[in-house]
Amino acid sequence: MGLDSKTVAPFFSHFETLEDPRIERCQRHLLCDVLFLAVCAMSAGANDFVAMQKFGYAKRDWLKKYLELPNGIPSHDTIGRIFSLLDGEQFIRCFLNWVQTIHQVTAGEIIAVDGKTARASLDRAKGRNPLHVVSAWATANRVVLGEVMVDEKSNEITAIPKLLQLLELRGAIVTIDALGCQKEIAAKVRERGADYVLAVKGNQEHLEEDVVAYFAALDEGDKRPRRRSRATQESKGHGRVETRWCDAVPVPTTLRHRDEWKDLRSICRVTRAWTERGEEKSEVRYFISSLRADATVLAKAILGHWGIENGLHWVLDMYFGEDRSRARTDESAANLAVLRRWIVTLLRQDKTLKDGIEKKRLQAGWNEAILEQILGLS
């Protein structure tokens, strides 16, 4: 693609392998210029192609420090057309190559795998389902490690193994919700050198039934496991106190089909209790794991998985407008989804500003020096 390494940060060099999908006579604007503009604009608060164009007009003089802009600032239609034509797999590969330079998975690190639907990408006129993005999220550093796109939530089952295959997971703990509680997925996690913690529901024959029954027997004193581990967690925030109790035991012999789950070692029950608007509420969830029956370790992994909702999905909807984005043409919805997660990770990596995502984007839009700092241009 041809980015000048003398004028742009190493961050942008990861676009080098991205092929320009346009025919030569339609290349009035350089691909590197359009991508640079999109990254800068979204970092500074632009959530759609129109806003990217307006950012370009407002920051034209600053952009000329780094870009050729042979035909000025591209229109929003041009930016949108390029994003609709870019090869989605290549774009994700560029993202993965960049992430691998900034983050190395460490032993015991919790990697949450979960899906999110971009609801407004539904296109009934063309018979297209809304885009569903399955992401891998490093919970401690709040970094998106990778993602795959599917056009239906039910396809998440087949997408998760593809995502796991892309990632270096050796030594990590991979957590997945109940839809991903599949024997093939458990085997793929172990194949990649990681441990799994999988939420249990009724999508596997007898599994939930047997796990629930075993813990009920423990409570009634009918069973005596050779080792039972317990842990309690309490958290406060947003005006409520939440308490979680975790019980973990080795896999019981009464669990049917236990040998079909690769390296299954423990089952776990987590009970949550909290008060919301004066009303007491509770929830009980069950899990299986290739980890030994250590309630403290399992409770930490399970709590870390819940963090993907606030740390990534909520941020994408609240600050990046993902659930309202109506980009639908060809690859535009998928490529914008990648770009949003790229920018979230980029902003999380900046440690010079002590603010959250929203305030960082505002400051990047107001102050070009701050934007250069976030992008590694200064």
Give 8's pLDDT tier (boundaries 50, 70, 90): low
Residue 230 bridge partners (DSSP): 247
Taking a C-beta distance cutoff of 8 angstroms, is the pair 335, 118 a contact? no
Determine the Cα–Cα distance for residues 71 and 194; give it in Å rounded to an integer: 50
In the numeric block, the tokens 């007898």 are attached to 206
pLDDT tens track for 46-56: 999 999 999 99
d(CA 63, CA 36) in angstroms, rounded, equals: 9
Please report, to the nearest 10 degrees, the dihedral formed by the alpha carbons of residues 7, 11, 13, 19 taken in order: -120
Per-residue pLDDT at 204 = 87
- Give Cβ neighbours of residue 357 (< 8 Å, ≥ 6 apart): 315, 319, 344, 347, 348
pLDDT digits (tens, 9 = 90+) for 230-243: 999 988 766 678 89
Chain mean pLDDT for the chain:
90
Strands 266-276 and 279-289: antiparallel
The pairing of beta strand 266-276 with beta strand 110-118: unpaired
Assigned fold of 97-318: Transposase Inhibitor Protein From Tn5; Chain A, domain 1 (3.90.350)
Q: Helix count (H) and strand count (E) of the chain?
A: 14, 9
Residue 257: predicted pLDDT: 94
| Token pair listed for 268 | 């776990």
Instruction: Please state the domain extents for the chain.
Output: 10-86+332-375, 97-318
Taking each helix axis from N to C end, the angle separating 332-349 and 31-43, rounded to the nearest 10 degrees, works out to: 60
Residue-level pLDDT at 130: 75
Taking residues 77-95, what's their average pLDDT?
94
